[in-house]
Amino acid sequence: KAGVTQTPRYLIKTRGQQVTLSCSPISGHRSVSWYQQTPGQGLQFLFEYFSETQRNKGNFPGRFSGRQFSNSRSEMNVSTLELGDSALYLCASSSGTGGGETQYFGPGTRLLVL
């Protein structure tokens, strides 16, 4: 089975711009979660989508949003980029039953905001 794929792998943007990141889950998985990884804050949960609905959300400002399509692919969008948004953004997929199931991570998208 193909693993979780994320595009693009690297991205450079300037402050004030917006960005869209894409995640394709493992075939058959219906849950996609997004995480932000920074040296200062570590790994932080952004949100989770299941069957095109946001099931859970972390403590991030409204500039961070996401969506999921009927084929379970997910996108996240960050508007009005700030320097502090520079990070590795990871997505993870799972079957969606929750409660301790294994999540499989993609390689991440590294975003640099100048």
Partner 1 sequence: GDSVTQMEGPVTLSEEAFLTINCTYTATGYPSLFWYVQYPGEGLQLLLKATKADDKGSNKGFEATYRKETTSFHLEKGSVQVSDSAVYFCALSAFGGATNKLIFGTGTLLAVQP
Determine whether 106 is exposed, middle or buried from the number of CB atoms within 10 Å of its CB (0-12, 13-18, 19+): buried
Q: Which residue has the tokens 């996108």?
A: 75
- Among the candidate windows 14-22, 43-51, 65-73, 77-85, which touches partner 1 by CB under 8 A? 43-51
Contact (Cβ atoms closer than 8 angstroms) between residue 28 and residue 2: no
Is residue 102 a contact residue for partner 1 (CB under 8 A)? yes
- Complex with partner 1: residue 3 or 61, whichever CB lies closer: 3
Interface residues with partner 1 (CB under 8 A)? 4, 31, 33, 35, 42-45, 48, 50, 55-56, 58, 90, 92, 94, 96-108
